[in-house]
Structure 1
Amino acid sequence: MELEQANSTVTTKPSSYSSFLEKIVLHRQLVMSLAGGGFLLAGFLAEFGEGSLWGVAAVIFYVLSYGVGGFYKAKEGLDDLIQDRSLNVEVLMILAALGAASIGYWNEGAILIFIFSLSGAMETYTWQKSEKDLSALVKMAPLEANRVTDTEELELVSVDELQIGDRIMIRSGERVPADGVVTRGTTSIDESTITGESVPVNKDIDDDVFNGTMNERGSIVVEVTKENANSLFQKMIRLVEQAKSNRPPTQQFIEKVEGPYVITVLILVALMLVVPPFVFGAPFQETFYQAMVLLVVASPCAVVASVMPALLAAISNGARRGVLMKGGTYLEQLSKAQAIAFDKTGTITKGEPTVTDFHIFHENDRNQILANAVSIERQSNHPLAKAIVAFGDKEKVNGAEMIQSSEDITGYGVKAQINEETWMIGNFEMMSQFQSNPSIDHTLEEKWQGEGKTVVYISRNNEVAAMLAIKDEIREEAKELIADLHKLGMKTIMITGDHEATAKSIAVEAGLDDWISHCLPEQKVSEIERLREKYGSVVMVGDGVNDAPAMAKADIGIAMGSGTDVAIDTADIVLMKSELKKINSSFKLSSRLNRIVKQNLVFSVSVILLLIAANFAQQLSLPLGVIGHEGSTILVILNGLRLLK
C-alpha cells in the first residue's frame, strides 16, 4: 500500500440513549440522592392521609428514602469503619438518622439523609468538575500509530511498540502519537495540550512535534526521537496522576484529626444521653433528640471539604495555562517561599548564546584552531558549544583534524586528543587546573566579562591558543518577572557557573537582588542549602541537567518545559511553554488558594460552634441543624470552585 493511501475508518456516533446511560452512571450518586428526596416527599404527603394504612405507607416511603438516598454515604462510612477501622463524619450521620427514626422522627431523619446525601453528591460532582481538565489530558494520549515500513507501507502498531528511529505517518485530524522530528510534509499543529496556547504552530522539515498534540492540516511523516514512556506528554500524564493523589499539609492534618474528633463527638453524645436523664431527671426523648442534633451539627463535613475541592480547582486552573504541578503540597507552599533562585542560561537569559568576539594568541592559525574547536564542540549539546559551532559555520572554517578521543569535564569544559595533541575548551578554572602558568590576557578577559559576556578558552598542549566571548541576551520577561516578584516581597538570586564579572553584569541588568558565581552543579546544592538557612523556604528555577540536584534540594523546583528530561523529572512544577511570567501567576494562584482555604476553615468552624451553642440552648431543631450544617458544606465547596476562574 502506498503511503498516501490510507485505509479509511468508519466511526459511529454513540446513540443518545447510550450517552444518557453513561451520564446516569457517572452521576449515579446524585441520581440516588434525588430519588431519596422523591421518597421523602411521598412519605411527607402520605402523612396527610387518614387511617393507619397511610401511616404505614409513610414509614415505608421514609425507609426507602433512608435506603436509597443514604446508600453511598452509608457505604463510604461502613467501608472506612470495617476496612480501615476509622471513624468519619458519615458514621455520625448514620447514627443521627437511625437515632431520630428510633424515637419516631422518621421525617426528620429522612430530611437529614436527603440533605447529607445531596451535599455529598454535589461534592463528588465538584471534584469531577475540578479534575476535568486534568483527566481529559490522559484521555488524549494516542494508543496506536501508523508506522511506515521500509517498503513505504503503513502498519498499525501500539505506541508502546515504537522505537527511536521509526517513521510514523500522521494524517490531518489525528493526534501525534510520539515525540519526533518532521521528515516529510508541512502542517500546523495545535499544541494546546502541551503549552495551553490554542493558536496552531506551523511545522516544517526538521521541526519538533510532541505526543498528544493535534495535527490540524496536511499529512506528515515523523521520525520518532523518544519512546512512548519518555515522551513529554507521558511525563505530563504522570505529573497529573501525582497531582491528583498528593495531599497538601493542611488536608493531611484535617484527615489526621478527623478520627479522634469523631470519637470525641460520640463520647459527648453518650454523656448527653446519660447525664441529663439520670442526674437531672430530664425527659429521655427530648434529651435523645438533642443528642441526635449534636451528632449532626458537630460533624466536620464542611471542614473536611474546605481544602481538596479548592486545591483541585487551582491545579486545574494552572494546567489549562500550561503550568503542571506534581501535587497540591507544592502549590500550597509556593506562596510561602521567601526567596527564589534562578539558573542563568536558558532561564534568565534566552538560552541562545552567540559568539561576539574571537581572539588569537601568538599568531596561531586562526582557521585551524577554530576548525578543531568546532569539531570538538559538535559532539556536545551545551548551549555554549552550539554557539561555537554556529560561529564556525558562519565563518565557513574547514580542515578540522580527526578527533581520537574526547572527554566532558562537568562544570569546566571538554578535553580532546587530536593527532597526539591535547586540546581543551573551557573556562579559566580548567586552564588553571591543567596548566601551571596559563597565558591569558586578563585585560581583555575583564573587559568582556564587564560587558556580561562569558569567556571561553581554547588551549593546545597546555598553552592557551585563543579565547572567545559569548553573549546570551536577557529575556525581557525575566526583567518583568523579577520586578513582579519584588512586589510580592521575594528575594531573587541568580546561581551560575560564570565568572563574577559576567554574573554581576547579568544580575544587575535583570534587576536581581543577588548573584552567586563560579558554581559547579554540586556547589549549587550547597548554595541552596545556605539560602534555605538564611531565608527559610526557597524555590529553584532551572532547565538543565546541572540544575536538577539544586532543584531537588530546594523546597520547590520549577523546570522550564524546554529543558532537559532530567530537570522536568526532578521539578515539582513544570512550565510547559517555558514562559517565566507563569511563575508570577503561579505565586498569585498559590496565594489565592491559601486565602480561600483559610476562609473556608474559619467559616466552617464558626458555623459548627454556632450550631453546637444553639443546640445546647435548645434553640435548634434537627431539620434546621441539617440545613445549617450541610449548607455550610456546600458553600465552602462553591467558594473553592472560584479558583477555576
Structure 2
Amino acid sequence: MITALTLISGALYAGASAYETLTRRRRARTFLTDGHATPKLPKRGQSWLDNVRRQQLDVMSTNSDDSDGQAVERMLNRNLAVSSASMGLVTVGGLILPPLGLLSALPAAFVAAPIFKDTYNALVNERRVSATVLDAIAITIGISTAHYFAFSLFIFLYYVRRKMLMKTEDHSRQSLMNVFGQLPRTVWVEQDGIEIERPIETVQAGDIVVVDTGSVIPVDGTIASGMATIDQHMLTGESQPVEKGVGDQVFASTLMLGGRVRIQAERAGDETMVANIGDILRHTADFKTSIQSRGERLGDQMAAPFLGLGALAFPLVGPVGAGAVLLASFGYQMRLLAPLGMLNFLNLASQQGILIKDGRSLELLREVDTIVFDKTGTLTLEQPHVGAIEACHGYCEDDVLRYAAAAEARQPHPIAKAILQEAETRGVVPPPIDDAQYEVGYGIKVRIGQQVVRVGSARFMEVEGIDKPDRIRDLQTEGHTQGHSIVYVAIDDHLAGTIALYPTLRPEAKSVISELRKRNMSMVIISGDHEIPTSHLAHELGIDHYFAETLPEEKADLIDQLQQQGRSVCYVGDGINDAIALKKAKASISLRGASTAATDSAQIILMDQSLHQLCRAFDIAQEFDTTMNFSFAMTMVPGIMILGGVFFLHFGLVAPMILNNLGMAVGAGNSMLPLLKSDKATSDHV
C-alpha cells in the first residue's frame, strides 16, 4: 500500500509543481503589465506614514511579507471554490445523474494535490510517516472504492476548516496589533507661538505637540504645560485612567480622555515605545514555533500507530473501515489548534499589560516552581525614603531637612525626590536659593542668603573640610552595615546633621509574595546589597532563602545551581547586572522602565512598571495549559468514537469526517473562549 501511495503521490506532486510554476509565471507577467513594480503614491488624504504603518501592521498580522499572505489566501479561496463545486457535482450525481459523481472526483483530486505533495515529501525525502500520510491514504481509499461523496466531502471540509482557522487567526493577530491602536495622520505642532497642523511623519524630537481631549497622543514625550486624564491601559494594563501634569511622561497611541497639554516630543514614528513593542512582536521567535512543533510531533507520533491500526483493521472491516480508522487520528488537529490557542493567549496577555516576547514562555511559566527575585529595583523601588534624621551642632531635624530640600530642589535623582517628599510630608518649606552654584560630584554646594549649604556624601564632607563628630561617625558605620544611604548636610563650616535613606519596599510586594506562596512557589532573593538589609527584607516578606553581596556573574551561577537541583526557575529582575541571570533562567520577567539590558534579555515584560501582573502572568500560563489540554481531549473524544463506530457500528467514511470536524470546531471555539470572555468583560466595564 505504501509503495502504491508513493507512486500516486509522486504523480500528483509533479502535476502540482507544474501548475505552481505556470501560476508563478502568469503572476509575474501580471505584476509587470499592471505597473506595480514601483511603489504606489499615497491617495488623496493619506500620508506616506499611513501607508508605511499599514504595511507594518500587515507584516505583523501575517508574519511574512504581504504578497505571500495574499497568495496563500488566494490559493485557499480557489481550492475552497473548487471543492465546493465538487461537492455540488457529487450531490447532483447522487440524486439525478450518477456519472456526475465520477466527474466530481476530478476537481476534488486537483485541490487534493497539496496533501499528496506533503505526503510525497514526508515519505520520499524525509523517510517518515507524517499525519498527512493518513489523509492521503484515506483519500486514496475513497477514490479507489468509488466513495466519491466521501472523498469530495473530505476535501471540502478540509478547506472549510483551513479557511475558518485562517480567518480566526487573522482576526486574533489583528486584535493583538490593535492593542496598540493607530496613530493620527496629522498633528498640531506649536511653531513661534502658533499651532500648525503637520503630517505626523514630520514631527521630530524637541517639537512641541498640542493634544486635546479625545485625541490619541501621537508621540512619546514629556508634558510641558497643562494637565490631562489619559487612558493607557492598552499599553500598560492599568485598569484606571491616570492624571498627568507638567514633567510627566506620556506615550504614543494612548488616549487623552480630558484636558489639553503641550508635549515636548522625545520619540516619534518608529522610535516610540509602541513601535518598539511592535518590532518585538514582529521579530521575536515565531510564537507558533514551540507549541506548533509539539502539535506536529504529536501528529507524527500518532500517524504510525494509526497506520498500523488501519492495516490490522483492513481484514476485519474492509478498506472503507480501514480508511475510517485512519480518520480517527487526532494529532493533526492539534497542529492547527495549538498555534491558534497560543495566538489568542498572547492577545489576552497584551490586553492586560503583559508583553510576552516569546510564545514559549507560556509553556515554560507553567513548569516554574521557584521564583528568584532581584532585590533592588524589583522588590524595592528606585526611590528610597527618609528613615531617620540626626541633627547636631544646635540644629533640629526640620532645619537639616529644610536646607537639604533647598539644595536638592532642582535635582532629578531619586535621593533628591525622597528628601523633597519627606519635606512636603512634614510641612517643611525650603528657603529660596540665591546665586545658586552647583558643584556636582560627591555632593552639591549652594548659597542661600549669606550661608553656604553643602549636601552630599561622607567623602564630599572630607573634601570640603567638614568635621564629623564621633556620634555621626558611629551612625555612618551602623548605616553602612544596615545598607542605608547617609546624606550629610553642612551649613557654612559645621555639620548640621545627617539624613538616613532606607530602601522603599514596593507597595504591592507583600500581597504578590503572599499570593505566590498560596501557589506553593518557592521564593529566593538575590542581591548585591549587604547581608543585614537583604536579611531584613527577606524576613519582612516571609521569604526563607536569600543570597546577599552577589556579583552579576554569581547571580547567574546561583540560577544554574538551583536548576541543577531540579528546580524550574523564573528570574525577576530589572538591572544591567541581571541580564546574565535573566538569560540563564528557564523563564524570565522584567518591568517596563527597567534597564535596556534587562528588558532585552527578559522573555516577559510587565508593562505597568510594577509586580501587580506577576501572578496574572502565571494564571494566563495555567489557563493556556488547561485550554490546550481540553482542545487535546476534544480531538481524542471523536477519535475514540470513530474507532468504536468502525468496529461496532460499521461506520463508513462520512460519519468519521463529521465527528472529526465537530471535534475540531469545539477545540477552536475553546481556544477562542478566554479571549472572548476578556473582550466581554472589557466591554461591560466600559
Instruction: Say which SS state the counterpart of residue 492 (structure 1) adopts.
Output: strand
Paired with 1:331 and 1:355, the residues of 2 have a C-alpha distance of 40
CA distance in 2, matches of 1:77, 1:557: 42
Alignment of 1:238-387 (within 5 A): 238-241=279-282, 245-247=286-288, 249-256=290-297, 258=299, 287-298=318-329, 300-359=331-390, 381=413, 383-384=414-415, 386-387=417-418
Does the C-alpha gap of structure 1 residues 172 and 353 become closer, same or farther in structure 2, counting only changes over 3 Å? same
| 1:621 and 2:652 correspond | yes
Question: Residue 446 and residue 490 in structure 1: after superposition, are their counterparts in 2 closer, same or farther (change >3 A)?
Answer: farther
Deviation at 1:31, TM superposition (A): 9.8
- Aligned partner of 2:99 among 44, 56, 61: 56
Cα distance, 1:530–1:585 mapped onto 2, change above 3 Å: same
Name which of structure 1's ranges 610-619 and 215-224 shifts more when overlaid on structure 2: 610-619
- The one of 513, 518, 540 equivalent to 1:509 is 540
CA gap 1:104/1:565 in 2 versus in 1, 3 angstroms = same
Match in the other structure for 1:194: 235
Q: CA deviation at 1:354?
A: 2.3
Unaligned runs of 5+ in 2: 1-43, 48-69, 447-453, 463-468, 678-686
Following superposition, the deviation at residue 144 of structure 1 comes to 5.7
| Structure 1 residue matching 2:618: 3-state secondary structure | helix
> Does the residue aligned with 1:483 lie in a helix, a strand or coil?
helix
**Which SS does the other structure have where 1:186 is aligned?**
strand
Match status 1:216 vs 2:257: yes
Deviation by residue 1:325-364 (Cα, 9 ceiling, x = unmatched): 1122111111211211223344323443222334478999
Distance in 1, Cα, partners of 2:601 & 2:282: 16
Q: Does the aligned pair in 2 maintain the 1:302–1:630 contact within 8 Å?
A: no
- Name 2:152's counterpart in structure 1: 110
Bigger Cα displacement from structure 2, 471-480 vs 517-526: 517-526
1:148 and 1:168 in contact (8 A); partners too: yes
Alignment correspondent of 1:133: 175
Shift in alpha-carbon separation, 1:614–1:549, aligned structure 2, 3 A: same
- SS of aligned partner of 2:165: helix
Give % identity. Answer: 22
- Aligned counterpart, 2:161: 119
**Residue identity matched to 2:609:** S
> Take 1:505 and 1:604, find their aligned partners in 2: how far apart are those partners?
52
Confirm or deny: 8 A CA contact 2:205 2:266 kept in the other structure: yes
Change over 3 Å in CA distance of 1:101–1:401 after alignment to 2: same
Moved more, 27-36 or 126-135: 27-36
Return the alpha-carbon distance in structure 1 between the equivalents of residues 84 and 534 of structure 2: 68
Give the superposition deviation at 1:515.
Answer: 2.9
Secondary structure of 2:388's match? strand
1:107 Cα deviation from its structure 2 partner: 0.8
- Provide the secondary structure at the position in 2 that maps to 1:211: coil
Aligned to 2:531: 500
More off after superposition, 590-599 vs 132-141? 132-141
Q: Does the Cα contact within 8 Å between 1:493 and 1:515 map onto a contact in 2?
A: yes
**Is the CA contact 1:34–1:118 (under 8 Å) kept in the aligned structure 2?**
no
Partner SS, residue 666 of structure 2: helix
Q: Give 1:375 shift.
A: 7.3
Q: Is the 8 A contact 1:453 1:470 kept in 2?
A: no
In the alignment, what sits opposite 1:40?
87
Matched residue of 1:168: which SS? strand
Compared with structure 1, are the counterparts of its residues 77 and 43 closer, same or farther at alpha carbon in structure 2 (3 Å cutoff)? Answer: closer
CA distance in 1, matches of 2:457, 2:404: 14
Partner of 1:581: 612
Sort the Cα spacing of 1:598 and 1:512 in 2 relative to 1 into closer, same or farther, 3 A.
same
Shift of 1:217: 4.2
Counterparts in 2 of 1:342 and 1:144: CA distance versus 1, 3 Å? farther
Report SS of the residue matched to 1:225. Answer: strand
1:193 partner letter: M
Instruction: Tell which has more relative contact order, 1 or 2 (C-alpha 8 A, sep 6+).
Output: 1
Deviation string for 1:359-408 (max 9, x for gaps)? 47899999999989997998774x346435767996559689967785xx
Q: Are residues 98 and 81 of structure 1, via their aligned partners in 2, closer, same or farther at CA, if it must alter by over 3 Å? A: closer
Q: Which amino acid aligns with 1:44?
A: T
Pair 226,530 (structure 1): closer, same or farther in 2 beyond 3 Å? farther
- Any conservation in 2 of the 1:180–1:208 contact (CA below 8 Å)? yes
What letter matches 2:218 in structure 1?
A: P
Question: CA–CA distance in 2 between the matches of 1:551 and 1:427?
Answer: 35
Question: Are residues 425 and 66 of structure 1, via their aligned partners in 2, closer, same or farther at CA, if it must alter by over 3 Å?
Answer: farther
CA gap of 1:584–1:260, structure 2 versus 1, over 3 A, is closer
1:537 matched to which residue of 2? 568
Residue in structure 2 matched with residue 481 of structure 1 by the alignment? 512
SS at match of 1:177: coil
Contact 1:371 1:399 in 2 (8 A): no
- Give the aligned partner of residue 553 of structure 1: 584
1:455 aligns with 2:496: no
How far apart, in 2, do the equivalents of 1:248 and 1:513 lie?
A: 38
8 Å contact kept, 2:391–2:400: no
**1:573-606, Cα deviation, whole Å (9 max, x unpaired):** 1111134231112212212222332343355356
Q: RMSD of the TM alignment (CA)? A: 4.9
What secondary structure does 1:309 align onto? helix
Q: Deviations over 1:206-226 (max 9, x none)?
A: 221101112334553211223
Deviations 1:421-442 (A, max 9, x none): xx996799xx9xxxxxx98868
Deviations along 1:59-109, whole A, 9 cap, x unmatched? Answer: 445655666xxx4x7547747967996685456435533541243211111
Q: Which amino acid aligns with 1:339?
A: T
Give deviations 1:520-541, integer Å, cap 9, x for gaps: 5444334433443446222222
Cα distance, 1:377–1:170 mapped onto 2, change above 3 Å: closer
Q: Which amino acid aligns with 2:655?
A: L
Q: 1:465 to 1:545 in 2, by over 3 A?
A: farther
Secondary structure in structure 1 of the residue aligned to 2:524: strand
Following superposition, the deviation at residue 492 of structure 1 comes to: 1.9
* Contact kept? 1:455, 1:470, Cα under 8 Å: yes
User: 1:134 deviation in Å?
Assistant: 0.9
Deviates more, 1:332-341 or 1:147-156: 147-156
Structure 1 residues 477 and 454: CA distance shift in structure 2, 3 A? same
Shift of 1:178: 1.7
Q: Which amino acid in 2 is paired with 1:357?
A: A
Secondary structure in 1 matching 2:386:
strand
- Cα separation, 2, equivalents of 1:158 and 1:91: 53
User: What TM-score do you get using the length of structure 2 for normalisation?
Assistant: 0.70
Question: Which shifted more, 332-341 or 163-172?
Answer: 163-172
Q: Secondary structure at the match of 2:98?
A: helix
CA separation of 1:344 and 1:427: change in aligned 2, threshold 3 A? farther
Q: Tell me the equivalent position of 1:179.
A: 220
Partner residue, 1:279: none
Contact 2:187–2:199 (Cα < 8 Å) also in 1? yes
Paired letter, 2:257: E
